Each structure stands twice: as C-alpha cells, then as structure tokens.
C-alpha cells in the first residue's frame, strides 16, 4: 500500500521524518527505544549512500519538554554508529546551507520542526504542501521518507506536506508498526483473539472495545480501567482516595458506556478476582469481594494473573494496551509482568502497545524478541486498533 526503502535506489538526497519525541527531565532528553528503532532506518539510508536529512519534533510550545533537538543528534548518532550533525534552524538559510554541504552517507538533523509556525496547525495535506516550510525545503531533496508512525495521527506539515512535492516512502519503523497494529482489524487468526486492557485512560480502552466488537474473543481487564468495570459490576472499588483524580471523573464520564459494554459482552469480559494494595509498606492481596473503598488498589492479584494466563495460553493472538498495575513500583509490577511473561511463553502473535506499558518490558528485563511487535506508539496505536486511518500513513499511500 505504500512504497518502502526497497524502492528508493541509492545516492539520493533524502528527507526523513522520525519521531524522536522523548521524556525530558530537568532539560535532559532521556534515551528511549524510539532512538534505537529509528536508527535502523537511518543506518540503512546511510549504507545506501544517500545524503540523509532528519526532521523531528520534541514537545509542544509552552511545555517544559519543548526543547531543541541538539541532544537528540548525539543520542541518534550513538545508535546509528555514525556522526549526526545538527543545525539550529528548520528551513532558513542556515538549514539550507547545511543541507547543501552534506556529503554522501552523511546525516544532518534539523531543529525541532515545532519551532516553525507552519508545522503544528492540523491542516489538510494540500494546505501544508503550500506552506513556506514545506516549499522551502522540498526542492533540496529527491525524496521523502516518513518513519514517524507514532506521530502519524497528526496532520502536521512535516508529516503530510512533503508527499505532495516528492516521491514518498515508508521507513522501516513505519512499515513494521503499520503491519502489526492494523492486524487486529485486517488479519484472520487461527484461534481466539485476546485483548489485555489496562492503564489509566478509560476512554482509550472503551473506544478500543467499542470499535472491536466482532474481532475479539476475550477482554482481560486490569489497572484503573479494570476497577471502573468492577465498580459497574457492583464491587466497592474504583473510588478516588484523598486528592486522587483517577477514578471519579472517569466514572462520571464513562459510566453508561462501561455498563453497556459489561451487559453486552459479559461472556467475553474478564475482570480481576483479586487486587493488590499496600499494607505496612508491603504488597498485600485481597479478593475483590473483600476490598474496602478507602484502599488505593495498585495491581491485580496472583489468582487473576493465573486466570488471565490460562486464557492467553489458548489464544492465537494477544494485543496489550495499558498496564495492569503501577508497575513502576516493583511491589505492584506482578500483574503487568506476569501477563507479559505468559505472552512471552506462548507462540501466539502478540503486540504490546502504549508508551508506558512497553516500558515495563525493559524495566523488568524481558526480551523484546519474545513478542511479535513492541510498539513505540501511544495515540497512533489506539487509533490503529480502533480502525481509524492515520493522516501520515494516508499521505504516503496516495496514488494520484
Ligand atoms: N491500579 C492503578 N492505580 C494507579 N495507576 C495505575 C494502576 N494501574 C495502572 N496504572 C498506571 O497506568 C499507567 C499506564 O497507563 P496508560 O497511560 O493508560 O497506558 P499506556 O501509556 O501504556 O497506554 C502506568 O504508568 C501505571 O502506573
Ligand atoms: O509521542 C507521541 O505520541 P504518544 O504520546 O501518543 O506516543 C508523538 O510524538 C506525538 O506527539 P504529540 O502528542 O505531542 O502530537
């Protein structure tokens, strides 16, 4: 449906859009798997003797994470194992001069594209193609590669404007993410399909469940979302404790849809039968019938992990969206890690998505190779699961 790096040839001037958007702490850009993944695409372009110019974004104006890409150049260079030059300009004279100076097999990163006013408005590809940003850079290149799947749900200039001027190709990350994340909608599996749904964002999970009625045989719920469903089932859970804002407003916003889903799909939805909480600084577990509504509940319990593991063992495909507990705290990681281990021990097709959830894989030393695909996308993954098209993918696919 789109052309790939296999179709480019060699020795071209290539503009490549990556998603290097990263956590920033005290002004320091944190390394994360986006660098390692995109490095593969960049390395392949370098090895083909192209002149490689990278564009990417970081944060949004007004936020602390809205910083220059100078640190990103060093991090990317480590993974590509080749120097990555940086110019603090997006499309002005300095950027164009640096682009023209580039030799074959060299890599240059331009400044954060969100520092350019043309980038962020959600506009059509035709409007973006006509922006000064896109019109001033496009003539410097022979082709455009979009590898930024995890930003492809945005109709921003650097993601949709260039394919109107240049032959456009998908990078390796774009290809792999697209194929894995749309497989729940596009692929037939030879056995039950299971979704593990957790995390803190109830609306995302409800949207995914609503969109995927036919294709899914089992829903295994946990996290905040699981507690909201348990509350709908009549258990005394899912109440905000102290100043927390995790439950009550999400309950108010989603109560009706949760009740409907539970009634319609009672035979396919599995809820936690036990939960974990903190007692005397240790992990303690309690059956759902016994929880008191003043306890913060931070993970699913061991019986739930066992039950869910049996369902996973019998599944042909498992998709994960959201963590089953507060896995960042080792005491409450058993649910998330236990489920990931169950998936890893089967040979089912598996996709682990959600920026936070996939972090549990590296935090607890699981091997990525045990899973069919570990996504680096958050919002784009949810949109793909719900069958929505992504403007950045659409822009690559046009055949007019
Ligand atoms: N019971 C819980 N109470 C509080 N936070 C939870 C609970 N279960 C999961 N979480 C939190 O949810 C976060 C992941 O949620 P979310 O952002 O929805 O998922 P993702 O980013 O993977 O899509 C994790 O950081 C985890 O700490
Ligand atoms: O990190 C990103 O999305 P994600 O947080 O949904 O994974 C993308 O870079 C998009 O960034 P944006 O949500 O500021 O447009």
CATH of the domain at 345: 3.40.50.1260
Cα-Cα-Cα-Cα dihedral sign, residues 116, 90, 8, 377: negative
Look at residue 390 and tell me if it is in a domain: no
The verdict on the CB of residue 223 being under 6 Å from ligand 1 is yes
In terms of domains, do 58 and 134 share one?
yes
What's CA 66's distance to the chain center, in Å?
19
pLDDT at site 327:
97
**92 in a structural domain:** yes
> Of the residues 125, 144, 174, which one is the last residue of a structural domain?
174
Shared-domain flag, residues 74 and 197: no
Residue 332 and residue 68: Cα distance in Å, rounded? 36
d(CA 121, CA 136): 18
Nearest atom in ligand 2 to the alpha carbon of residue 382 is 6
Cβ neighbour number for residue 45 with a 10 Å cutoff: 26
- What pLDDT digit, counting tens, does each position of 20-63 carry? 999 999 999 999 999 999 999 999 999 999 999 999 999 999 99
Best probe residue, ligand 1, of 356, 375, 378 (max atoms within 8 Å of C-beta): 356
Q: Is the pLDDT of residue 221 over 60?
A: yes
CB 340 within 8 A of CB 367: no
Backbone angles phi, psi at 126, to 5 degrees: -65, -45
CA–CA dist 293, 314 (Å, integer): 34
Ligand 1 pocket, mutate which of 197, 291, 293, 322 (most atoms under 8 A from CB) = 322
Specify if 306 maps to a domain: yes
Q: Does residue 226 sit in the same domain as residue 281?
A: yes
For residue 156, give the nearest of 376, 380, 375 by alpha carbon: 380
Q: What pLDDT sits at residue 245?
A: 79
Q: What does the pLDDT read at residue 398? A: 66
289: in domain: yes
DSSP state of 4: B
Residue 399 forms part of a structural domain: no
Q: Specify the pLDDT at position 1.
A: 84
| 335 shares a domain with 195 | yes
pLDDT value at 297 more than 80: yes
Pocket flag, ligand 1, residue 297 (CB < 6 Å): yes
Q: How far is the CA of 222 from the centre of ligand 2 (A)?
A: 24
DSSP 111: -
- 186 & 169 share domain: no
pLDDT tens string 237-282: 887 877 777 888 999 999 999 999 999 999 999 999 999 999 999 9
How many whole angstroms from 151 Cα to the centroid of ligand 2?
6
Per-residue confidence at 152, pLDDT binned at 50, 70, 90? very high
Residue 153 is assigned to a ligand binding site:
no
The answer to the question of whether 398 is labelled as a binding residue is no
ipTM surpassing 0.85: yes
pLDDT band at 399 (very low <50, low <70, confident <90, very high): low
Task: Return all residues near 369 (Cβ < 8 A) that are at least 6 apart.
Answer: none
Among residues 140, 174, 208, the one where a domain terminates is 174
Nearest-CA residue for atom 16 of ligand 1: 199
Looking at the structure, do residues 116 and 199 belong to the same domain, yes or no? Answer: no
CA neighbor of 220 nearest in space, from 133, 112, 340: 340
Say if residue 163 is in the same domain as residue 293.
no
Token pair, residue 98, equals 């640096």
Model-level pTM?
0.94
Same domain as 246, residue 211: yes
Q: Which two tokens stand for residue 227?
A: 């507690």
Does pLDDT of 296 surpass 80?
Answer: yes
**Ligand showing the shortest atom-to-Cα distance for residue 321:** 1
Cβ of 329 below 6 Å from ligand 1: no
- Annotation-wise, does 72 bind a ligand? no
Domain assignment present for residue 398? The answer is no
Given a cut of 70, whether residue 80 has pLDDT beyond it is yes
Would you state the structure tokens that stand for residue 168, as one six-digit string? 């456009």
Any ligand 1 atom below 6 A from CB of 230: no
pLDDT more than 70, % of the chain: 99
Model confidence band, residue 355 (pLDDT cutoffs 50, 70, 90): confident
Same domain? For 159 and 287 the reply is no
Query: In the listed set 133, 153, 174, which residue is the last one of a domain according to the structure?
Result: 174
- Does ligand 1 lie within 6 Å of residue 326's CB atom? yes
* Per-residue pLDDT, 187: 85
State how far the Cα of 296 lies from the Cα of 285, in Å rounded to an integer.
12
Give the burial class of 282: count Cβ atoms within 10 A of its Cβ; 0-12 exposed, 13-18 middle, 19 or more buried: exposed
In the structure encoding, which two tokens stand for residue 24, read together?
């920033």
Distance CA 87, CA 90 (A): 8
Q: Is residue 395 part of a domain?
A: no
Determine whether 263 is exposed, middle or buried from the number of CB atoms within 10 Å of its CB (0-12, 13-18, 19+).
exposed
Ligand 2 mutation target, pool 63, 201, 379, 388, most atoms within 8 A of CB: 379
Residue with the two structure tokens 């019986």: 303
207 and 170 both lie in a single domain: no
Q: Which residue range forms the structural domain that includes residue 269?
A: 182-385
Specify the DSSP class assigned to residue 219: E
C-alpha distances in angstroms, 362 versus 33, 193, 308, 369? 9, 25, 22, 12
Query: Can you tell me the distance from the alpha carbon of 14 to that of 129, in angstroms, rounded to the nearest whole number?
Result: 17
In ligand 1, which atom is closest to the CA atom of 204?
Answer: 18
Tell whether residue 335 is among the known ligand binding residues: no
Helix extents (H) in the chain: 33-47, 70-80, 93-101, 125-129, 132-137, 157-160, 172-181, 183-186, 202-211, 223-232, 248-264, 302-313, 334-344, 355-363, 379-385, 391-397
The predicted-structure confidence for 318-340, as pLDDT tens digits, reads as follows 999 999 999 999 999 999 999 99
Residue 334 lies in a domain: yes
67's enclosing H/E stretch is: none
Tell me the mean pLDDT in the region 364-380. Answer: 95
Query: What residue owns the CA closest to ligand 1's atom 15?
Result: 199
Q: What's the whole-number average pLDDT of the chain?
A: 95
72 — pLDDT class (breaks 50, 70, 90):
very high
Count up the domains in the chain and report the number: 2
On whether both 102 and 216 belong to a single domain, the answer is no
| Whether residue 400 has pLDDT greater than 60 | no
Ligand 1 atom nearest the C-alpha of 381 is 23
- Report which of residues 340 and 386 the model is more confident about: 340
Looking at the structure, tell me whether residues 144 and 235 fall in a common domain: no
328 is in an annotated binding site: yes
């Amino acid at each position: 449906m789109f052309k790939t790096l296999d179709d480019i040839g060699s020795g071209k001037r290539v503009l490549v859009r990556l998603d290097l958007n990263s956590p920033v702490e005290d002004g320091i850009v944190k390394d994360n798997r986006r660098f390692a993944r995109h490095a593969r695409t960049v390395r392949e372009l370098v090895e083909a003797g192209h002149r490689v110019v990278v564009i990417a974004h970081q944060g949004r104006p007004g936020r602390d994470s809205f910083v220059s890409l100078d640190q990103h150049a060093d991090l990317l260079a480590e993974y590509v194992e080749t120097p990555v030059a940086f110019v603090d300009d997006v499309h002005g004279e300095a950027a164009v001069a640096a682009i023209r100076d580039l030799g074959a097999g060299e890599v240059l990163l331009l400044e954060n594209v969100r520092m350019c006013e043309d980038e962020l408005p959600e506009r059509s590809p035709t409007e973006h193609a006509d922006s000064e940003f896109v019109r001033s850079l496009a003539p410097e290149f022979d082709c455009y590669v979009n590898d930024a799947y995890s930003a492809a749900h945005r109709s921003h200039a650097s993601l949709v404007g260039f394919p109107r001027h240049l032959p456009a190709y998908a990078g390796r990350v774009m290809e792999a993410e697209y194929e894995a994340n749309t497989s729940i909608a596009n692929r037939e599996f030879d056995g039950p399909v299971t979704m593990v749904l957790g995390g803190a964002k109830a609306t995302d999970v409800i949207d995914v469940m609503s969109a995927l009625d036919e294709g899914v045989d089992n829903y295994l719920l946990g996290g905040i979302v699981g507690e909201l469903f348990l509350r709908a089932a009549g258990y005394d859970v899912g109440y905000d404790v102290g100043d927390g804002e995790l439950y009550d407003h999400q309950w108010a916003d989603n109560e009706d849809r949760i009740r409907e889903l539970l009634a319609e799909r009672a035979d396919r939805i599995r809820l936690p039968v036990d939960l974990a909480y903190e007692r005397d600084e240790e992990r303690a577990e309690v059956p759902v019938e016994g929880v008191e509504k003043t306890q913060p509940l931070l993970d699913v319990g061991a019986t739930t992990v066992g039950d869910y593991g049996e369902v996973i063992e019998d599944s042909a495909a498992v998709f994960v969206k959201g963590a089953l507990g507060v896995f960042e705290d080792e005491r409450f990681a058993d649910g998330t890690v236990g489920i990931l281990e169950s998936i890893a021990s089967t040979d089912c097709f598996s996709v682990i998505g959600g920026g936070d959830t996939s972090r549990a894989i590296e935090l607890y030393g699981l091997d990525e190779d045990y899973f069919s695909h570990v996504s680096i996308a958050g919002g784009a993954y949810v949109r793909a699961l719900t069958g929505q098209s992504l403007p950045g993918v659409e822009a690559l696919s046009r055949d007019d």
